Amino acid sequence: MLIETRVNNSSYELASYIKILGYDYFLSEDGKFGIKRTTLKSGNKEEIFNFYRKNKPSIYFVKPTTIEALRYSIIYDNVNGIVIDKENSRLFKKSMLNLIRQYNKVVEVCINEISIVYKVINWSDKWIEYPIFSSCASRFNELWSPLSKIALLSSLGAYKEDAIRWIYLSPLVLFGRDP
């Protein structure tokens, strides 16, 4: 089962193109089409806790901007995944990566950001068990097909088997399945 893990602006047109690309389901930020996911950009742990308590999002991602928020979002069970990009990649030090490994947390990265993708591939050997690579598309021509994602990951140095596992199986962890 193939899942596109992040679409910013969903529409009927985009949903039909996602089907053509070969995905079975997709997660959208606005929730008009597909499965709704919520991403919170936050710097303190109270906000992360209170947002979940008030809104009860079904799939809850956090983009932490401070070390404290990152530590809390790793430990907090209701956070499904952590978003990493150029803004917060400096937070991911060895101690935080060890914590991610301990709690088996999902780490999401937009596939457009090649430098971060490369970092995550390197970290996946030891620390990140379930990395997720999303298209982060707002329009249909920004979508990435699964084959292109696998080719990009393997040309950046990932093993082909790992790349296939990350694209096909890692998103299933968000739905509570063990890949």
Partner 1 sequence: MILDFIILGWLAILTIVNIYMLRIRIIYFKKLKNKRDIKSKRYVIFEIIPENTFENRQIENQIRNAVKELGGNIWLEIANPKLVFTYKNYGIISTNRVGYKIVLASLPYVREIDGKEILLVPRRTTGSLKKAKKLIGIR
Nearest distance in Å: CB 99, partner 1: 32
Q: What is the dihedral of CA 27, 31, 36, 40, to 10 degrees?
A: 100
Could you say which of 60, 123, 133, 144 contacts partner 1 (CB under 8 A)? 144
- Between CA 30 and CA 116 the distance in angstroms is 25
Nearest distance in Å: CB 76, partner 1: 34
Edge-to-edge strand list for the sheet holding 130-134: 38-42, 60-64, 81-84, 106-110, 130-134
Measured at the alpha carbon of residue 169, what is the angle toward residues 163 and 175, in degrees to the nearest 5? 145
User: Is there binding between residue 133 and partner 1 (CB under 8 A)?
Assistant: no
User: Is there binding between residue 21 and partner 1 (CB under 8 A)?
Assistant: yes
User: Is there binding between residue 11 and partner 1 (CB under 8 A)?
Assistant: no
For residue 8 the two structure tokens come to 């910013």
By beta-carbon proximity to partner 1, the closer residue of 46 and 142 is: 142
Nearest distance in Å: CB 20, partner 1: 6
By beta-carbon proximity to partner 1, the closer residue of 58 and 138 is: 138
Could you say which of 54, 95, 155, 176 contacts partner 1 (CB under 8 A)? 155
Of the candidates 94, 95, 81, the one whose C-alpha atom is nearest the C-alpha of residue 40 is 81
Q: Which H, E and C letters describe 123-171, residue by residue?
A: HHCCCCCEEEEECCECCHHHCCCHHHHHHHHHHCCCCHHHHHHHHHCHH
User: Is there binding between residue 164 and partner 1 (CB under 8 A)?
Assistant: no
Given the rule CB under 8 A, which of 14-22, 32-40, 58-66, 72-80 is the region that contacts partner 1? 14-22
- Between CA 107 and CA 2 the distance in angstroms is 17
User: Is there binding between residue 145 and partner 1 (CB under 8 A)?
Assistant: yes
Which residues of this chain interact with partner 1, rule CB under 8 A? Answer: 17, 20-21, 114, 139-145, 147-148, 151-152, 154-155
